[in-house]
Amino acid sequence: MTSVPRIVVAFLLSPLAAAAAVTVVVSLGRGVPLPGFVIATTIVAYGAAFVLGIPTFLMTRPWLRRSLYAYATVGFVIGLIPAALVWPFASDIALSVAVVFGSGVAASIFWFIAVRESNNALERERGR
């Protein structure tokens, strides 16, 4: 069972991972990004996490499988929404692809912090 503090920490840290992933992917193709880009990416990542991530987590929590694959897939799908919003302002498709990739990374980091259970907890649950 996930604890509330772990969920809060995951929601606070996973957008940073998304912003970092987008910044790294964009910098691979365009060179070192300006500080304004990094700040804007972080703000958008937190906005997307609160507007899209929290409602999705609350709606899918009862039935979503507790696997990394499931969380990453939902993250990639959620990432299509901000990517579609970025598309008209991007000079090429790379930024939109980076946004989708960053969303999947954020969902994976969220799973790692909030959902993943240690082997010890699983062994206690199985009665070993």
Give per-residue pLDDT as tens, 24-48.
Answer: 888 887 778 788 888 988 998 999 9
What's the confidence (pLDDT) of residue 25? 85
Indicate the number of domains in the chain.
1
What is the rounded distance in angstroms from the CA atom of residue 45 to the CA atom of residue 60?
20
Q: Where are the alpha helices (DSSP H) in the chain?
A: 4-30, 35-48, 54-60, 68-86, 94-110, 119-126
What's the confidence (pLDDT) of residue 118? 53
Residue 83: Cβ within 10 Å count? 21
What's the pTM value of the predicted model, to 2 decimals?
0.80
- Three-class SS of residue 111? helix
Give per-residue pLDDT as tens, 44-77.
Answer: 899 999 999 889 888 888 887 788 988 999 999 9
Containing structural domain, residue 76: 4-126
**CB of 11 closer than 8 Å to CB of 49:** yes
